[in-house]
Structure 1
Amino acid sequence: MSNKHLDNCLVFPMRRGPYQNNGASPWYCTLELGTPGQPLKFAIDSGTNMNWITSALCPADQCVHFAGSRFDFQASSTFAFTDCLQRPYSFGPWGTMQVESASDVLTMPCGTPLETQLLLAAAYDGEQFKQLDWDGGLGLPCSSAYVEGRSAFLLQALMREGQLSPDHPFVAFDWDNQAHTGSCQMGGVDPTKTQGAQLFLPWSVYSTLAGVEYIWSADLKSYSVGSELMASNIKFALDSGSSQLKGDDGLMRRTLARIAQGGEPDIVLGFADGEITLGADLYNCLIEEGPQKGERLPQFAPLGLADLVLVGSLVMEHCYTVYEYQVVKCSHEVYSLAPVGVWLFNRADGPQIITRSSSKRFTPGTHAIVNGKLALPGPSNETVSVAGTWKNDYGSVMNLEVSGQRIYGTYHSSTGSTGKYPVCGFSLGAGASREKNQPIALAINWHALGADSCDPSWNWTSGLSGQLSMTVAGDALTLSHLLVATSDFPELAAPGTYVDKLVYRRIEKPLYVEPPLPSTLLPVENALAGNWVAGDGTSLVLSVHSHSKQRMGIVRGQLTCPNSGAGAEVSGFTDINAVASKLKRQSVSLTAAETPDATVRALCGALELEGETLELLVLASASVAPANAYLATQISSIRFTRTT
């Protein structure tokens, strides 16, 4: 691979080792470390933020790996330890090694020495290390701000020493899978390989898991297996030290389960401005060494990195890949590097995996250097609202609007009777985020809004409470459901209270045009109206309203809990046709949002018309972290009696 067209550029020749089923890239370059130089195999790894090498510190039964070499630091006249402590260094789910900090001379491909800080591996173990095709790695993090404190940043050091021009802030990988040869070019780009279909992935910090902000992450709008959308609005990372697709545990397991069903589905990665498609012939890889040697296996693995899809050679072997930095000049000899993004270009002689090109075009020439300071963006504060259209597994659709804390909308049911029904309720907080779910409480009146035929469920109400969450599969609304049936519906349900768990997914476009709720309401005389108190001191003050057609009861009022101070607004529904329907119980569904304890409540049950007691089940939901979603909603019961 010629570099005659490149100015002030270092080219690291790379070789491909045997493909092994350990998730690590088979690609490495051979460089000399120490004086005299010892040839060792290094990965140039954009998925780590430090430099390391297997060393003679390892006991004989440790640090066993396929590449097989160890750095003999005692044989190097330029070697020095920079610390007196040995410590563990974690590679996350991939494993942990014991390391010591040191420095020595690393010889560049053109023969120039470069003093380098690195970590010497003193111990590691495990099948994943045994299958490693390289002896160590040189970190290529997305920014100099994220470099491990006792390790050098090779690209930054080359600029500081004048070996690379800072106005060419590129690192380009060109791997030929068939020939098993390739290169990593630092400080330059081959413009003949930046033609045709291209994909630009602007850097966006991955912050779901603290400590790995150094990866080259970007926004991934959709992840599909065949025609099935499995995740949306998560992160994607391109890691030259990795091979297979890995990341979010649930997503990878669902992918493998879908592939096991047959049909050889494509994997489609959809970005805001471009798309990658991987066919089964690319993600089913022949294992060339290791315990599964000779098998052809789908390359997907859980990695404990929530909301992330990460991949390496599985994509990079079929693309010319360019990592682009923004260089910031801090002083005469000090350069800082900030991430711009990653560019991918289909190889002319390979599968055309970029199936939708980006509109942004690549500029391979000189790039301006920023003087002064540049602020990197922090974690995203993105939140989502419950406003929108939602569909559950039964096929029922709910269209919701939000005004402050209030929720209102309509429900189109696909179970029991069908029709369009009113919804009201409350939420708390600005919305759901990756870190916190949002509590939601809703009430439904099962008296149809339209001219549908009357059926027994028109006397019923429902209360729902739970949480809105951002998940890898898209926004989810997970609600505990209490259905209060006060009349018999032959061949469907006897009177009683029914419990269910409903999960709704957001629909991009509403399926139905929903009519608004009545704008003019009139107070009506009803047994529910008035003052109510429970044994623990909780009180309700309620009024009942309807519109001119007297179809449904709309409840307004106030809920006051003991020691809570000001009361909380109440919104809900009740069956104002219970007496006319000759029922003994009148269904009631109320919602309230209590700001002091950040809790929303759905209070659902029935008014005993003869005894004038109000028996309600209470679903109380609070904001929790996604990992604690099972603790979000509590259930209790409460009995009110009328007061004068």
Structure 2
Amino acid sequence: MSLILNGSWENSYGSVMVLDVAENGFIFGEYVSHTGSSGTYLVIGHCQPNNPENDAGQPLVLSIYWRSVSGEEPDDGSHWVSTYCGQLDNNGQITVINSLITTTHYQAFSPGDYIDKLIFTKQPITRDVATRSMELIEQKKEVVANPINGVWVNTEQAIELTVFVQSQKYGVVNGWLFYEGEQISLLGFTDTFADKNILQSVSLSGYMLKTHHPISLAGRINQDASVLVLSRWLANSTTVAESYLQASSLNWELTKIHC
């Protein structure tokens, strides 16, 4: 089945993301932005592997690392990540909540979480992003030393998250999450260029096979790398009229138990 989600999508800011969607709902692609900083950024995500229907959209989550891969000089905004959570509606638009995790002072921003609603419409012109995206995803899963590597838990909520960096250059993070009685494979990004004066951002995406929910995690680790503060996002399939229910969020605080 050909998924409508494949292709180029533009939002009202003029930013364009090109998505390549596998049959199992795994998404990889690139995002070209001229808002704030200009550049090309990598995208990893998951969606429910079916096209939207009359009474239900196609839920999706995306992780983006705002460090350009197209040669621009890094700035203070290149330490940030985003999670997009929403759906492809049956009217042909992607509507998402953008949770932008900032960890530095840059332009008008101070460290915090910035929430925005974005709407994307499909564009007729696309370009191939498979070569570069698959290069970073299929590389050997060798652990790169990083403060985020290890096992993070919240015993009260029965949550366990294991993550490790597999690419210093692209900030790719691999791992798995034990949550709601399921082991969920995760892939995303962390700021591998954070120094001791910067909180380290992270955005991860996965898919819950039992409930058919795309899931994403976005947040930061504290400066002594002992606490990971996250927002857990779930993408829900809804009608256009009930799209206010398409993205749900919970706050998590996880503690590292070992590396």
Per the normalisation by structure 1, the TM-score is 0.38
Q: CA deviation at 1:541?
A: 1.2
1:187-586 alignment to 2 at 5 Å?
Answer: 384-403=3-22, 404-471=24-91, 475-489=92-106, 491-510=107-126, 514=129, 516-517=132-133, 518-519=135-136, 520-521=139-140, 522-534=142-154, 535-546=156-167, 550-562=168-180, 564=181, 566-579=182-195, 582-586=196-200
**1:217-244 CA-partner distances (Å, limit 9, x unpaired):** xxxxxxxxxxxxxxxxxxxxxxxxxxxx
Task: Tell me, yes or no, if structure 1 residue 601 matches structure 2 residue 221.
Answer: no
Q: CA deviation at 1:436?
A: 1.3
Structure 2 distance, partners of 1:494, 1:627, is 35
**Is the CA contact 2:97–2:116 (under 8 Å) kept in the aligned structure 1?**
yes
Q: CA deviation at 1:583?
A: 2.8
- Dislocated runs of 4+, deviation >6 Å: none
Partner of 1:22: none
Q: CA deviation at 1:414?
A: 1.4
Structure 2 distance, partners of 1:447, 1:479, is 21
Q: 1:437 is matched by which residue type in structure 2?
A: G
Q: CA deviation at 1:556?
A: 1.0
Task: Tell me, yes or no, if structure 1 residue 641 matches structure 2 residue 226.
Answer: no
Partner of 1:355: none
CA pair 391-584 structure 1, distance change in 2 beyond 3 A: same
**Is the CA contact 1:461–1:589 (under 8 Å) kept in the aligned structure 2?**
yes
SS at match of 1:523: coil
SS at match of 1:444: strand
Q: 1:391 is matched by which residue type in structure 2?
A: E
Partner of 2:206: 592
Q: CA deviation at 1:611?
A: 4.8
Structure 1 distance, partners of 2:12, 2:95, is 11
**Is the CA contact 2:10–2:17 (under 8 Å) kept in the aligned structure 1?**
yes
CA pair 586-539 structure 1, distance change in 2 beyond 3 A: same
**Is the CA contact 2:147–2:225 (under 8 Å) kept in the aligned structure 1?**
no
Kindly report the root-mean-square deviation, in angstroms, between the aligned alpha carbons of the 2 structures. Answer: 1.8
Q: 2:15 is matched by which residue type in structure 1?
A: S
Q: CA deviation at 1:513?
A: 5.7
Q: CA deviation at 1:384?
A: 4.6
Partner of 1:377: none
CA pair 399-383 structure 1, distance change in 2 beyond 3 A: closer
Q: 1:620 is matched by which residue type in structure 2?
A: L
Gaps of 5+ in 2: none
**1:287-322 CA-partner distances (Å, limit 9, x unpaired):** xxxxxxxxxxxxxxxxxxxxxxxxxxxxxxxxxxxx
SS at match of 1:470: coil
Structure 2 distance, partners of 1:590, 1:611, is 17
**Is the CA contact 1:486–1:583 (under 8 Å) kept in the aligned structure 2?**
no
SS at match of 2:113: strand
**Is the CA contact 1:598–1:623 (under 8 Å) kept in the aligned structure 2?**
no
1:32-47 alignment to 2 at 5 Å?
Answer: none
**Is the CA contact 2:149–2:164 (under 8 Å) kept in the aligned structure 1?**
yes
Structure 2 distance, partners of 1:633, 1:385, is 20
**1:120-145 CA-partner distances (Å, limit 9, x unpaired):** xxxxxxxxxxxxxxxxxxxxxxxxxx
Q: CA deviation at 1:533?
A: 0.9
Q: CA deviation at 1:478?
A: 0.4
Structure 1 distance, partners of 2:188, 2:74, is 21
SS at match of 1:457: helix
Q: CA deviation at 1:599?
A: 1.3
**Is the CA contact 1:460–1:587 (under 8 Å) kept in the aligned structure 2?**
yes
Q: CA deviation at 1:642?
A: 0.9
CA pair 609-388 structure 1, distance change in 2 beyond 3 A: same
SS at match of 2:132: coil
1:7-18 alignment to 2 at 5 Å?
Answer: none
**Is the CA contact 2:17–2:32 (under 8 Å) kept in the aligned structure 1?**
yes
Identity of paired residues, percent? 29
Q: CA deviation at 1:575?
A: 0.4
SS at match of 1:643: strand
Structure 2 distance, partners of 1:642, 1:523, is 17
SS at match of 1:516: helix
Task: Count the aligned residue pairs.
Answer: 251
**Is the CA contact 1:389–1:399 (under 8 Å) kept in the aligned structure 2?**
yes
**Is the CA contact 1:420–1:449 (under 8 Å) kept in the aligned structure 2?**
yes
Q: 2:161 is matched by which residue type in structure 1?
A: L
Larger Rg: 1
